[in-house]
Every structure is written in structure tokens, then in C-alpha cells.
Amino acid sequence: MNDRDQSPSLDRRRFLRQSAGAAALAGAIGMLSDTGVAFAALTDGDIAAAAKHATAGPAATKTLTVMARDLYPHDQLDDSCYRNAVVVIDGKLSQDKATKALLHHGVASLDAASKKLKGKPYAALANEADRVAVLTSIEETPFFQKVRGEMVVALYNQPGVWKTLGYEGPSADQGGYIHRGFNDIDWLQS
């Protein structure tokens, strides 16, 4: 995290993370043009529509779901939030030959890296720290950057996730916050 004790100098690792950040936005913008699915907050209908295009089988979906949680671990979130995001990303990437190959080869290479580093396929590693070490080892790959960039949009674009994190979402249809606590803070000392 970019905390205040961090040096402003750009080391290579941060540079790569920043490039991945670009993918987030590019991916989000691409979501519309690639699939015709608007990238509004995800609904059950969006997820069902994406599932029709998804090509990762049950094993790969499981692996990607574990990866999603390891990327953005919120212990209070149900696995369904991560699985929904995976289905949406799978459905999107599977509609293009190049990104579909990136996804399928990526899952295989994630398992290969995991076996090499920790002796087991990724989803079979019980220890989160081991899985994070595997992810860190592939952090620079296009597969990792693509999935991370898509995931930061798809995961945090779910009303269920908003609720858990304490974000109330749209407010105009409820008359805004003028009578609903826009200035209700009570713990500040004057």
C-alpha cells in the first residue's frame, strides 16, 4: 500500500503493479466494447449471461476462485462473490480467441508454478502464504495482470460486496442523504 512511509521512488516491482493498474481501467472500458454487456453494477442476469460464454471447466473455475480470494482477501465475503466475478471474467475473456487462450494457458501455468515452488497444484495448497508466494512468482505475467485488472473491477462492482464493506450505493432514488445521515458523525472532538 502506498503508505506515507513509502519512498516515492519507483522500483521495478511498483512499476509492474502500476502497469497492471492500467489493465484495470482498460479492461473496464473494454468490457462494453468486447461483449456488449454494460459494466454497471453486476446483476444476477449479468452473471447468468456471462456463464453462457464461460469456457473454464469446474477445476479451472475452482482454481480461479481461490486466486480471486487470494488477490483480494476479505474474510467476511462469501465465496459466491469471488465465483461470480470469475464467471463474469471467464465469460468475457472466452469470447476472444487470444484472451481465451491467455486464460486457459494461464491457469495451467499457475498450477505448474505452484507444483514447482510448493509441490502441489495451486488450489490444493492449504496455506494462504504459500499461495501468495506462488502468485507473487507469476505477478509479472500477462495472465496475472489481466486477471488482477479484471478482478478489481468485477469483484468490487457487486452490490453484495458494497453492503459488506459499508457502502450504500445509489442514493438519488431515496432522496439523497439530506435526511439520511450526511452529517451524522458523532465522535469528533471539537
When binding is defined by CB under 8 A, the residue of 48, 101, 116, 169 that contacts other proteins is 169
Comparing CB distances to other proteins, the nearer of 14 and 100 is: 14
Residue 177 in the binding site for other proteins (CB under 8 A): yes
When binding is defined by CB under 8 A, the residue of 36, 45, 58, 175 that contacts other proteins is 175
Residue 3 in the binding site for other proteins (CB under 8 A): yes
- Identify the three-state secondary structure at position 167: coil
Interface with other proteins (CB under 8 A), residue total 63
Residue 20 in the binding site for other proteins (CB under 8 A): yes
- Identify the three-state secondary structure at position 182: coil
Q: Give yes or no for a contact between 39 and 87, defined as CB atoms under 8 angstroms apart.
A: no
Q: Give yes or no for a contact between 140 and 148, defined as CB atoms under 8 angstroms apart.
A: no
The footprint of other proteins on residues 80-119 (CB under 8 A) is: none
Residue 71 in the binding site for other proteins (CB under 8 A): yes
CA distances from 130 to 6, 108, 120, 122, 150 (A): 26, 17, 10, 9, 23
The footprint of other proteins on residues 118-157 (CB under 8 A) is: 132, 148, 152-153, 155-157
- Residues 128 and 74: their CA atoms lie apart, in Å, by 13
Neighbours of 84 (CB within 10 A): 25
Residue 12 in the binding site for other proteins (CB under 8 A): no
Q: Give yes or no for a contact between 31 and 152, defined as CB atoms under 8 angstroms apart.
A: no
Comparing CB distances to other proteins, the nearer of 51 and 165 is: 165
Q: Which residue has the cell 519512498?
A: 7
Binding site for other proteins (CB under 8 A): 1-4, 6, 8, 14-22, 24-26, 28-29, 32, 38-41, 70-74, 76, 132, 148, 152-153, 155-157, 161-162, 165-173, 175-178, 180-185, 187-190
